[in-house]
Structure 1
């Protein structure tokens, strides 16, 4: 399906509506949502507090969570009030804005109605022609670019350089621009040239490092969250030009890539505090954002569905007999392209490495079950996305016994986005069969055959994702997790479920938790 990328309609619409809030604008392929969450949390920790609005896309569970005010999803009343204003204005002026343009304007109008102090605005796709880029230069505080990799090539270009050029085009004259650490050096060069061409200013990034716990500086060490050492928050040290001393804080977002994201977030904060162009907004950030506020904001950050841990209790099914209630530790991550899957795999390697016994052999085998669904998004292939995950056994320490399984599913297609469709499980199964596993390794798959996989998943819809099919039987996702519970029932083994491949699958998982009466707080508070 074609998407008409132009700013003409939304500029007309915003010309009739009113939007004046100071705005931080963030683009990138991977990590932009995490940076939005970090910046939002840090600003929310100001003293006295700042009211923060944040717009992220796509939404996770419902459209309400794409628009947050004071770090909570917008209320239905506020959302529908802003939506009605936008849609009426669009109709009265015969503009014909697209669904995403209407949603973007709904968010902006809601932030204006709430009179928030600062808005954190995540680019939907690309940058130059993304609807969020219609916000006027006068509103922009800081812009930023996170990690760039190949994705959405049909719309953005076939090279990382072309994609970087599109995404860097959110830069504004006279405004600070943060360029995050990049895997591809070409990206930084392209981004710098784009920023220079519009008269923006590339700012240096703060230094972020892991730190060793010091009882004198940091107080008593917090307890571990679970059986895996790497699942606990990490102590980091952040050196920002706007403060004389480094800041020590607990970072709850997992993965080495989050250190890079924190550098971008800290750079945005530092620029907002010190860049001359930001003073005109009169926010008093130099006084309100203290080292203590930054540390508190980092520690309070929540970004669900990105290396986030959850536990649930399910009735196990075969192969374990007799079946019984089993508690599952689930790591949910929206990794949906080769770069984000590689970041997930890197995290899993660090997480699952186990200190060796005196004899040099880890003492406990590992049962690892992937629950997977993927979008159909050529030229990206399922094999390219999954390759880092299924190469995992080769990267673990020699002697570490691993039993891998994978449940293959469809996700619930998001409403209003007909171009987003899941890959059939049989296609995912075929991709897995092409991946090279370590010699002598094997993998358990659910369902057992390609035909069963497509049949089992053929009628997935939002009601099924919520936990029950029309017949009242468990939905495919619940059945997949019950199968995982059966694999994980042996107490002498370490066990982890990794749910990945699409944020839409993560959303199905959160809906399932709610339907089972096991809903967990995922947004957090400041």
Structure 2
């Protein structure tokens, strides 16, 4: 099924529903927009007094309700069902033929309006200019933002980073701040700057947060250094100087990976723009953001943020050889394109560096559990090349063994265009990158099911019987839909 990008249907649908009037932060980007939206939402919720925050993200993880959050909690089944039925009945009555994502977006907007949230954090689904979320009237967009841009969805957005950036930056609104995050491609910054200027928006260039030394007065007692880097990591002390405060904001960031320093920078420049420009923005005037948002509330919001499926650590009980149940730690990440795979690869390499430096020469194992979406022109080889093989530090005497489990993910409801790559195709890509990898896979013809993931986890955990747990890293990646399968398994959901 093709995706027909247009705003005509959702505009018609919303014209028959109660008007949307919530102050909105609109965030686009190839990678990082989910992390930024979670940071912004968490910071706003911890303002004093707290703001009531609505957040819309896609795709969802365990349930479609996950994509619509009220104060960082999924909307209730009753509220979702009632509002969704209103939207779908309106669509039927008027013969609009809205897409599933357009109906979901409309449902989210109606819920936020019904709940009278103070402010909405709205993540773009794909692109920007013709994305369903871009239907928000100019007057209710408080800030727009663009995270890092890379090659993805080229069939819909363009073949170059510049062309893709132009589509994504088209969410800029006249007279409103537009926060631009750090970019990999120089052409992106020039194109976005020109577009934002032509629209009459106010360009704000976001600087990344930086690491700082641990300060017990700010961060509390310093935890002892971990001797098991494959069991997760604690928060990192960071700081950043913002236009809205005379002194740097200092906090502990629980999100892992160096890329989160850039994402935090984008999130905090969004918050700073809200504070600086809120007095002149009609939708935000009554919120008194300058009084409610302080360095302390921002720090609290950063330290309490959670964004599952992005360099997230989880423990799960699996059966080892001999029917013995054992605890296994898994690093889960929804890396699904070359850029996000490179980010995951950097984090894996940093873990390996710590492990290699912590002991004498030894053998370590990295086991990947992988599944990919079929999204031409992007190929499995292109997506996996940054990730495989994992890189050990120079001059390391550690021997690294690579194992890979390949399977399909469960297809998401309401998205018939999503297809998983056959395991045999993934096998070819893995062998071309790591010829000596040990591979386990499911049959191509077998439909994805819960037992396949359990079997892959059991196979991944079986290596631990030959060595210490802190010498074996298990990484589940390649698709958020596979991460969702893991979360359903952990939670016991169907």
1:332 aligns with 2:332: yes
- Mapped partners of 2:395, 2:426: distance in 1: 27
What is the aligned partner in structure 2 of residue 497 from structure 1? Answer: 474
SS at match of 2:152: coil
After superposition, where does 1:25-174 map in structure 2 within 5 Å?
25-174=26-175
- Mapped partners of 1:2, 1:261: distance in 2: 31
- Mapped partners of 2:68, 2:13: distance in 1: 19
| 8 Å CA contact 2:229, 2:355 repeated in 1 | no
SS at match of 2:444: helix
What is the aligned partner in structure 2 of residue 470 from structure 1? Answer: none
SS at match of 2:386: helix
After superposition, where does 1:67-466 map in structure 2 within 5 Å?
67-222=68-223, 227-228=228-229, 231-275=233-277, 276-278=279-281, 280-281=283-284, 282-317=286-321, 322-354=322-354, 362-393=360-391, 395=393, 398-435=396-433, 442-447=436-441, 453-454=443-444, 458-460=446-448, 464-465=449-450
SS at match of 2:466: coil
SS at match of 1:231: coil
| 1:494–1:226 CA distance, 2 compared to 1 (3 A) | same
- Mapped partners of 1:505, 1:219: distance in 2: 36
Give the CA deviation at 1:280: 4.9
What are the superposed Cα offsets for residues 470-492 of structure 1, whole Å, 9 maximum, x if unpaired? Answer: xxxxx010001001111122343
Give the CA deviation at 1:90: 2.0
- Mapped partners of 1:397, 1:133: distance in 2: 51
- Mapped partners of 1:16, 1:225: distance in 2: 57
What is the aligned partner in structure 1 of residue 5 from structure 2? Answer: 5
- Mapped partners of 1:507, 1:216: distance in 2: 38
Match of 1:480 among 456, 469, 475: 456
Give the CA deviation at 1:404: 1.2
What is the aligned partner in structure 1 of residue 484 from structure 2? Answer: 507
| 8 Å CA contact 1:231, 1:351 repeated in 2 | no
Number of equivalences: 489
Name stretches of at least 5 consecutive residues in structure 2 with no aligned partner.
none
- Mapped partners of 1:488, 1:416: distance in 2: 39
After superposing on structure 2, the runs of 4+ consecutive aligned residues of structure 1 that deviate more than 6 Å are: none
Give the CA deviation at 1:435: 1.3
Give the CA deviation at 1:97: 1.4
Give the CA deviation at 1:363: 4.3
| 1:217–1:514 CA distance, 2 compared to 1 (3 A) | closer
What are the superposed Cα offsets for residues 431-471 of structure 1, whole Å, 9 maximum, x if unpaired? Answer: 1111156xxxx321113xxxx6425xx121xxx33xxxxxx
SS at match of 1:349: helix
SS at match of 2:171: coil
- Mapped partners of 1:516, 1:119: distance in 2: 28
Give the CA deviation at 1:516: 9.0
Q: TM-score, normalised by structure 2?
A: 0.95
Q: TM-score, normalised by structure 1?
A: 0.89
Name stretches of at least 5 consecutive residues in structure 1 with no aligned partner.
466-474, 518-526
What are the superposed Cα offsets for residues 332-370 of structure 1, whole Å, 9 maximum, x if unpaired? Answer: 00000000000000111112213767xx97444322110
- Mapped partners of 1:87, 1:423: distance in 2: 32
SS at match of 1:329: strand
Give the CA deviation at 1:207: 4.8
- Mapped partners of 1:334, 1:165: distance in 2: 25
